[in-house]
Structure 1
Amino acid sequence: MRSYFQRFNFFAFSILVFLVSSCTNLDNKQVNSPVSTQQGSTATPQVSPQNQQESEIKLLNDEAVNILQQGQFKEALQKLEKGLEISQDKGERFWEAVTLNNIGRLYQKQANYSQALQSYQQALFINREIGDRVQLGKTYSNIGYLFDIQNQPELAIFFYKHCLINREIARLNPAVLSAPQPDAYNVTVAQTYRILGEKLLKQGRVVEAQRSMDLLKVEELEGFLKDVPGNQRTAKGIEIAPGEKALKQQLEQTGNNAVELGKELTKLRKIAPEQRSPAQKQRIEQLVLDQQKLLEQFNNFIASPAVKTQLEQLSVTAKRQSLDLASINELRDNLARLSQKSILIYPLVLDDNLELVVVSPESVPIHRKVAVTREQLNQTIATFRQQLQTPERNDTVIKTANQLYNWLIKPIENEIKASGATNLMYAPDDQLRYIPLAALHDGKQWLVERFSVNYITAASLTNFNTPPASSLRVLAGAFTKGNYQVEVGNQRLAFSGLPFAGQEVEGLAATIPGTQKLIDEAFSPKATIPQMDDYSIVHFATHAAFVVGKPEDSFILFGNGDRVNLRDVANWSLTNVDLVVLSACETGLGGKLGNGEEILGFGYQMQKTGARATIASLWSVDDGGTQALMSAFYALLSPGKLTKAEALRQAQIALIHADSKVKNKNVPIATSSGLSHPYYWAPFILIGNGL
């Protein structure tokens, strides 16, 4: 086995150089899912000899990975060597690359970093050869991780970025991303994006970090929903910094020479040793010597003081060049064209701290590091959610709301003030998705009293400036009576009709004449879904649930007892719909919180239907609070003078001050006082285009 590595050592390393420098040369090629990937799945009705070989290689890899985790290095290597031998003999290039990646992981665990890199390099060459963007990106991630644990952050960033670049190109054909994937990688792709964002922020490379954080949300959607397509904005990947471009040019010079030698060497090695002529044997020896010379030149280059200095200066040059990045300029231009002065806030939740990235139209992106651990933050989020749903006292919830304000808003107050923003565009991360930003408190007032809040899934998936519908035409459905049992995973949940839902819809119809009403049995998927795209607003006063787990577990319950799950929603066509309102949603059923992918996924699925925005609730308000808020919202929206985000904000303020002298004369609050607790007004969030 060792002789195999020695034979390919110099060749593989040179190929790595070429692959890094020329990864963008694949951009115009069609991305196809490798046949071997799909055949590697466990369920095959008929087993051909080829499938038997692949299954054997897969089994050897799975067994090796399992015993490797138990520290049985020798036994794991034996299995991997056997898998490698079979894959080479049978020409199973996909599985050869998988096995080489796992051999790299084994050597890495033994701190044999040179051998680990060598294995990864060979896998990289094969992935490039077969045109597999998905596996190529993951192998880049393995190499980035290898440099990461050796405390070489600049090189780690460089390779992590190539993982992202290849992944985003592959996303243009999302079917390849959802194919079965082998266990051959140090971290998941989503973790790679998160690590990359963290490392870029540590170096002050905020523009690149923002891009990584934005695409992280797209990758999280892929992990939850599958088949999430990319677009022209996501396919741009992430910029190669000026300092990295200079390094890339040097790598390309070495790689171009190495690949020509490699092609000839590969061709010669296909000839069985006993059949090679003396001239062919001599040529192989010469090619290996030439590769050694190329490797020596490369090693001298990479170890030179000039290159080391250049790598160390990357953070400085990246800061200076931030204005040249097309993606951030496009984002800032979109923000500048919004009717409300807006600022974009990206939190990134890390184990040891919270990072805040802020993008405004007038200045370069900035970031602030907040000293709070993931554990502290999640505990506070759980406490806050419990307090928000217990509307007895305001003082306890205000204290927690103020703590969260001090973590999420106070560190960037100066930037918000300098921008003149009245609207906060918010792309929450992890469990922050379970709490409403509007309910934070600065010690004097709720955040909603100062700003409107517009949630987005990801900037690269959002059209900020699509104009709203010119007239309001409403389709309103309500579940008012009856009881239905719903099975969610291993839970069986009971849902009853909402007494105020009928009043909610009647109030809406009174505010917007011509509203089409569907109540109870008439409010069925069969009757409702076909006509939704005839209206500019679709309003459902019924139960909906965002459930941790699979997309099929999250659902909307119709008035006749039928339900539509999150996967089904993607098949709706709502290209004419400006707003979808679900007024009685729930998250965290049974007290279980995940990372909020189900909320992110809901926003994306609605966006995918063509609807410009969605209003949903993070918990279900069981009394007249929802009716009061919706009455206020539509009264403010119907004249057409306010954006959806601002109408929601003013409706929420109307409930806060319903029992005080501070009232909006345009808002009819036909309810009793006592709705000032955030339990009643805070759960409602607007996702998407807030215009």
Structure 2
Amino acid sequence: MTPTQTTVQNPTAVSNLTPVQTTVQNPAAVSNLTPVQTIVQNPAAVSNLTPTQTTVQNPATVSGLTTTQTTVQNSTAVSGLPVQTIIPIVQNPTEVSNVTPTQTTVQNSTIVPATVSTESPPTVSIGQMPAVPAAEAPNLATIPTRELATPIAPSQPLTTNPLFSPNSQQQNEISSSLQQGNSPAPPPIEVSALPPNFGTMIFPAEERFTSEFVNYLNLPPTRTIVTIEETQNTLRTVAQSTGVKPAIVYIRFVPKGSPIDRADSSSSILRVEQQIPASEELELVVITPEGAPLRARIPQTDRAVVMSAVQRFRNELTNPVKRHTHSYLPLAQQLYRWMVEPIEIELQARGIQNLSFISDAWLRSIPMAALHDGKGFLVERYSVGSMPSLSLTDTTAANFKNTQVLAMGASEFADMSPLPAVKIEVPAIAPQEWPGKSFLNEDFTLANLKAQRQGQAFGMIHLATHADFRSGSPSQSFIQLWDTKLRLDQLRQMGWHSPQVELLVLSACRTAVGDREAELGFGGLAVQAGVKSAVATLWYISDEGSLGLMAEFYAQLRTAPIKAEALRQAQLALLRQEVRIEGGMLRTSSRSLPLPPELANTDIQNFSHPYYWSAFRMIGNPW
């Protein structure tokens, strides 16, 4: 084997290749091709190769290729094709032979790697993938998870979580979903560095998102919008003080084909379209402590297409009928390809460990931790959080030394479902795990919440109760206390900004899916409450699952370098079944807690499905 930058996946045998820029995926047999720049991935046997950047995925046999950039999908047999022929949608051929086409792609693998190119000025070259040694072909439906390291090098070995070994029916289900969801390979994704003069300018997404939250939450309009240079300075300070390298990732829709952003010489502010144009595509902008900020445009990502994928992804995660399936996986991988894959090589090269997403409307309720690259979940590689905007976030370092927790909650409600595990959760946090006070049910009143906070400067406030982020004005969203609803527009009056509350935790809330105003309320929770950070859930999860994650989170918070890492470790503990139900007890990584009688006969044994752990979101300052 004499390959150059070649990846080989899942063929039974691949031999005698001299390929040129060809992608071949999932045929039963592909023969007589001679492609160049092909990636051949995970064969049982790979021999006599002399390829350069070649992609051949999941064929039973691939041999003797003579093709150049051709699209062949879904045919039983395709032969005798002329040069520069595009066959629009032909997938899963049983046999493809005697082909001499140009621009050909044969598709249908678990993941179609994004082709990444660069442009000036200045150019960041991330298009060259390292060679991947031959490996045993993985089961299509198996969901592997990573052994962690921070950061992870691209070539670091990964391991498989034995929990995720679906039966044949589940394998067929995932295979069918992947086949139905595939489309012809999109154009290459261009990743380029922003021009140097952007550093002193205000990035338009930062300005626009700040304005959206200020208007919705009725915040004082006198807000200083940070520049890209100031953003990098903040990230450098965080890296130096915590030892964790963070990155800000903006995800927004931009008019298709529009230039990078235009600078207005009169105000030095980059302008962006405010209306929703007829044709859009996703744009990622990444800012790291060091190195030029990066921009990537993602082809074929119209708003309607992306929003549909987001909606279906959440539906698959939260559907109770599918709690023991992996039906979410195709969509988790598709969203990953759009929102992470184009920038991941640079994230790894720069040693990034923490990602804070600042997202456009209708993208703020995506459970980013559950995005999947075919090898593992995003949370296995990075701690993840969201910000309304950096300009609205208090980025000063957290200090939990001598911090006490005010933990309050309700297990019974007049017109809402009971939360019996709250009776265990609240005292398990304070005073058992952290010093502080706890109050339940009749003592969980608005008057007592105010009185306790005024009498003692609790640095953390934990509220184990229902909360709802709804469409409409902030007054429509609320946190349910024992005696009343604490509305979102009332949070500022609680005085949690003086003295400063470091962390507010809501362990049982939900956000309306696909609703811009509900997302603004959820995403603006920390700034509206006057706290540095908040942890809340995107949807209601099981009472047992919330108890397990919260118990683990507060234990991890004692030693984690940043708050987002504590949440990440708690999520991983659920994923890996380190937190589970066993013998009528909730087992965490460090202790066991009794379940209340109401949950003694629960049929839930583990919380490894992302429904249980990916709903939890770090909002605001993740450090």
Alignment TM-score, normalising by the size of structure 1: 0.52
Match of 1:346 among 250, 260, 266: 250
Give the aligned partner of residue 389 of structure 1: 318
Q: Is 1:565 aligned with 2:487? A: yes
Query: Highest CA radius of gyration, 1 or 2?
Result: 1
Q: Is the 8 A contact 1:224 1:598 kept in 2?
A: no
Deviations 1:230-253 (A, max 9, x none): 33x32x7x7xxxxxxxxxxxxxxx
Provide the rounded CA distance (Å) in 1 between the counterparts of 2:449 and 2:615.
Answer: 26
Give the aligned partner of residue 451 of structure 1: 382
Match of 2:447 among 510, 516, 526: 526
Provide the rounded CA distance (Å) in 1 between the counterparts of 2:476 and 2:528.
Answer: 19
> CA, structure 1 residues 585+522, in 2 after alignment: closer, same or farther (shift >3 Å)?
same
Q: Is the 8 A contact 1:427 1:455 kept in 2?
A: yes
Secondary structure of the corresponding residue to residue 543 of structure 2: coil
Provide the rounded CA distance (Å) in 2 between the counterparts of 1:606 and 1:370.
Answer: 31
Q: How does 1:99-138 map to 2 (within 5 A)?
A: none
Secondary structure of the corresponding residue to residue 363 of structure 1: coil
Q: How does 1:48-63 map to 2 (within 5 A)?
A: none
Q: Is 1:648 aligned with 2:577? A: no
* Letter paired with 2:429: L
Secondary structure of the corresponding residue to residue 359 of structure 2: coil
Shift of 1:470: 1.0
* Letter paired with 1:515: G
Provide the rounded CA distance (Å) in 1 between the counterparts of 2:194 and 2:564.
Answer: 34
> CA, structure 1 residues 217+625, in 2 after alignment: closer, same or farther (shift >3 Å)?
same
Q: Is the 8 A contact 1:566 1:602 kept in 2?
A: no
Provide the rounded CA distance (Å) in 1 between the counterparts of 2:196 and 2:465.
Answer: 46
Q: Is the 8 A contact 1:570 1:606 kept in 2?
A: no
Provide the rounded CA distance (Å) in 2 between the counterparts of 1:513 and 1:653.
Answer: 22
Provide the rounded CA distance (Å) in 2 between the counterparts of 1:473 and 1:203.
Answer: 46
Q: Is 1:634 aligned with 2:554? A: yes
* Letter paired with 1:343: A
Secondary structure of the corresponding residue to residue 380 of structure 1: helix
Give the aligned partner of residue 39 of structure 1: none
Shift of 1:570: 1.6
Q: Is the 8 A contact 2:238 2:397 kept in 1?
A: no
Q: Is the 8 A contact 2:194 2:292 kept in 1?
A: no
> CA, structure 1 residues 382+329, in 2 after alignment: closer, same or farther (shift >3 Å)?
closer
Shift of 1:388: 1.4
Secondary structure of the corresponding residue to residue 304 of structure 2: helix
* Letter paired with 1:517: S
* Letter paired with 1:637: L
Give the aligned partner of residue 581 of structure 1: 505
Q: How does 1:663-682 map to 2 (within 5 A)?
A: 666-668=589-591, 673-682=605-614
Q: How does 1:96-495 map to 2 (within 5 A)?
A: 207=199, 211-231=203-223, 233-234=224-225, 326-339=229-242, 340-350=244-254, 351-371=279-299, 372-391=301-320, 392-484=323-415, 495=416
Secondary structure of the corresponding residue to residue 466 of structure 2: strand
Deviations 1:549-576 (A, max 9, x none): 111101111023x011111112121233
Provide the rounded CA distance (Å) in 2 between the counterparts of 1:410 and 1:632.
Answer: 30
> CA, structure 1 residues 600+415, in 2 after alignment: closer, same or farther (shift >3 Å)?
farther
In structure 2, the gaps of 5 or more residues are 1-191, 255-278, 581-586, 596-603
Alignment TM-score, normalising by the size of structure 2: 0.58
Larger fraction in strand:
2
Q: Is the 8 A contact 1:479 1:542 kept in 2?
A: yes
Alignment coverage as a number of residue pairs: 386
Secondary structure of the corresponding residue to residue 349 of structure 1: strand
Q: Is the 8 A contact 2:410 2:441 kept in 1?
A: yes
Shift of 1:482: 2.9
Deviations 1:210-265 (A, max 9, x none): 6211111111113312243333x32x7x7xxxxxxxxxxxxxxxxxxxxxxxxxxx
Larger fraction in helix:
1
Secondary structure of the corresponding residue to residue 472 of structure 1: coil
Q: Is the 8 A contact 1:579 1:613 kept in 2?
A: yes
Deviations 1:279-321 (A, max 9, x none): xxxxxxxxxxxxxxxxxxxxxxxxxxxxxxxxxxxxxxxxxxx
> CA, structure 1 residues 203+354, in 2 after alignment: closer, same or farther (shift >3 Å)?
farther
Give the aligned partner of residue 658 of structure 1: 577
Secondary structure of the corresponding residue to residue 624 of structure 1: helix
Shift of 1:608: 4.7
Q: Is 1:683 aligned with 2:615? A: yes
Provide the rounded CA distance (Å) in 2 between the counterparts of 1:542 and 1:500.
Answer: 11
Provide the rounded CA distance (Å) in 2 between the counterparts of 1:212 and 1:656.
Answer: 37
> CA, structure 1 residues 538+332, in 2 after alignment: closer, same or farther (shift >3 Å)?
closer
Shift of 1:660: 9.9
Q: Is the 8 A contact 1:474 1:516 kept in 2?
A: yes
* Letter paired with 1:686: M
> CA, structure 1 residues 208+432, in 2 after alignment: closer, same or farther (shift >3 Å)?
farther
Q: Is the 8 A contact 1:478 1:542 kept in 2?
A: yes
Provide the rounded CA distance (Å) in 2 between the counterparts of 1:229 and 1:221.
Answer: 10
Shift of 1:605: 4.8
Shift of 1:623: 2.9
